[in-house]
Amino acid sequence: MSSFPHRWANLRSGIVTLYCSLAALLLFASTAAHAIPVYARQTGSACADCHAGAYGGGGNGPNLTPYGMRFKLNGYTDTDGNGGKIPVSAQLVETHTAPARGESSMNLTEADLYLAGRLTDQVGGYVKVEADRVGHNTYNTKLRNVDLRFVARELKLGGKDLTLGVSVNNSPSFDDPIAVLPAATNLGPPGGQGPTGTFLKLSSANAPAYRVIGATVYGLYDSDWYGEVGTYNSLPTSTQDHLGYSISGDPGKIGDTGYFRFAYMKDLKRQFFSVGVVGLTTRRQLQRRGSSDKLTDLGYDLTYQFLGNRENIVQLSYVNILEKRRYGSTPPDPGTPGFTALPRGALHDETLSVTYTFRQSYGLQLAHLESNGTRDAVRFGPYGNPDTTANLLSVFWAPFGKDDSFTSVANMKIAATWFRFTRFNGATNNIFGAPPGVSTTRPADLDAFLVSASLAF
Amino acid sequence: MTKLPLGLSAAVLVFGWVLAALPVHAAEAAAGSDVFKSECAECHSIREGRNKKGPSLFGIVGRKAATLPDYSYSDALRGRNDWVWTPEKLRSYLSQPARQADPGTKMKYDGLTDAKDLDDLISYLGTLH
């Protein structure tokens, strides 16, 4: 094993960056919007028809109802039959951030533009352009999610209904209808330095989200059986740069990438449940040259919703993803001659989320996020342990977005979210491996409390 | 014993029947509201003039089929010139898959097979005036 002082020297410069990226990640997770008024205008429906909470879900994630899942599966093309709707929405987010360590702040943290909705009976989409505050009066504009769809409905197979579609998107699993996989919820166990999470996890360093482009073909058979297969390629780093992303987060050059998703989903009107599996396999050159790592993700997810008469909605989801890695190289440990990185490893991400929504206006979400992996002294600093455990508690109030709201043109949400870390880099104390005499960092020092006000129109 | 006039007796009888029936209908309608929220509300609004994927159901009971001026009905339903949404017609229509009741309809609904839920729902729809 390498010595702590050596590892500390390697890690010290990255800690500030890590703090910043964690803060940005948590902020993003707490304010992401999924329901947009343009869909309400297009369909005549209320936001609360597609989402348990009337502002596009609960604290985090879209919290889709079965009706919302069908809208997504139908390529965002459902309509009230009246044309002439402008397919544009916008969102502003003001956030008060109170980190456990560091100064509190209150800023307009995000401004978004959505181009979304139907183009024809068979073509629709969702495109989000996001401007994030990165400094004093400085905003970084980036292309977030893209999900463009072609859908063929009203098909029959063996006398049963069949829907077939194609999705062109830039984030594996974002397009999933059940919308509990990491890219769709923005929930994922935060990881330490390096690619410590699974490839499917949105919050992993060097994750593919927004930096790849791919196409999937999907089908829904007999209303209950969902299947999807597809492939992705990473965008050139120059394109990522043009789209607003730092090259340091490049997922690397990926090839031979396959993605699949199968699920059984049952809409019982007052209840809903689903059982699904997801997989992704790819060869990745993280540095875009040299040997490639073989990554294979395989996961399953379970969901249950009690919907009743929509007065009291409870949604449960559990996602478990295992990633097997076969590394293309085994670099030596610079601090300990003779030691090298392991040729193989495994990473394991789990997310458990419970959301309660009252009258689709008041909500409470609790989530447990856990990430574990094979110990590797060279690949994961400072202790060779990538394990992370975190919790999220979020409450929100969304007064509009329902059938009886006085407006369907605009929507608003006020949310308070608390992130709590109990383990980071496999440690419960001195998580960055500071040498004796240097102040240490505890997992709780990464905790953060955020209050946000979001306005969409 | 004094006998009541025939007209007064009849009035008392009707008043008593109405009084007895009112709570039952109110309870049915309240239960029907819950059925509506879980079965219908995603595609239909109860607000006058507000159409979703399906037309507003305000004033549906007694309305002639496909007659809301600002909703784009299917050709199939527009062709049902003789349909009026009476409670009996609604019961028949909603108790089976919509595409069986009206081939060619835009409505996607598998039907409500629970007889009590259906009665409650129709009672509730009758209150939407």
pLDDT at position A197: 82
User: pLDDT of chain B along its 129 residues, tens only?
Assistant: 455 565 666 666 555 555 555 555 777 888 999 999 999 999 999 999 999 999 999 999 999 999 999 899 999 999 998 999 999 999 999 999 999 999 999 999 999 999 999 999 999 999 998
In the predicted structure, residue A300 carries a pLDDT above the cut 90: yes
Domain of residue A194 covers 4-456
**Do the chains contact at A270 and B38, CB–CB below 8 Å?**
yes
pLDDT digits (tens, 9 = 90+) for A316-341: 999 999 999 999 999 998 888 888 99
Q: Across the interface, which of B38, B39, B53 has its CB nearest the CB of A78?
A: B53
In chain A, what residues touch B51 (CB-CB under 8 Å)?
A: 44, 80-82
Amino acid identity, residue B96? Answer: Q
Neighbours of A369 (CB within 10 A): 23
Q: Please give the domain boundaries of chain B with CATH numbers for all domains.
A: 24-125 (1.10.760.10)
Confidence band, pLDDT 50/70/90 cuts, at residue A186: confident
pLDDT at position A381: 80
Residue of B nearest to A306 (CA): B38
Eight-state DSSP code of residue A120: S
**Do the chains contact at B47 and A80, CB–CB below 8 Å?**
no
Residue of A nearest to B71 (CA): A81
The pTM is what? 0.89
Give the distance, in angstroms, between the CA of residue A118 and the centroid of all CA atoms in the same chain.
Answer: 24
In the predicted structure, residue A189 carries a pLDDT above the cut 80: no
Arithmetic mean of pLDDT, A187-214: 80
Q: Are A2 and A333 in contact (CB under 8 A)?
A: yes
CATH code: domain of residue A292: 2.40.160.10
In the predicted structure, residue A30 carries a pLDDT above the cut 60: no
- CB contact, 8 Å: B69 with chain A? no
Q: Are A249 and A283 in contact (CB under 8 A)?
A: no
Tokens 């509506």 belong to residue: B36
A209 vs A203: CA distance, rounded Å: 9
Task: List residues bridging with A332 in a β-sheet.
Answer: A340
3-state secondary structure of A88: strand
Confidence band, pLDDT 50/70/90 cuts, at residue A357: very high
- CB contact, 8 Å: B51 with chain A? yes
Q: Considering its fold, how many domains does chain A have in total?
A: 1
DSSP string, A247-291: GGG---EEEEEEEEEEEEEEE-SSEEEEEEEEEEEEEEETTSSS-
